[in-house]
Amino acid sequence: MAKAAAPKTEAADVFAFPSMDAAPFADQLRTFAEQGLSSSKEAYENMKSSMEEAQKTIETTMETAQSESSKLSLTAINAMRANAEANFAHLEKLVGVKTLAEAFEIQSAFVRKQTEMAVDQAKEMQTASKAAFDALSAPVKAATEKAMASVKAA
| 14-53 per-position pLDDT tens digit | 565 666 666 777 788 888 889 999 999 998 998 898 888 8
The confidence score (pLDDT) of residue 18 equals: 61
Domain boundaries in the chain? 65-154
What is the torsional sign of CA 115, 116, 119, 120?
negative
Mean pLDDT of 135-144: 84
**Among 18-27, 67-76, 130-139, which range has the highest average pLDDT?**
67-76
Dist. CA 87–CA 142, nearest whole Å? 46
Q: What is the pLDDT of residue 10?
A: 55
pTM over 0.75: no
User: If pLDDT is split at 50, 70 and 90, which confidence band does 121 have?
Assistant: very high
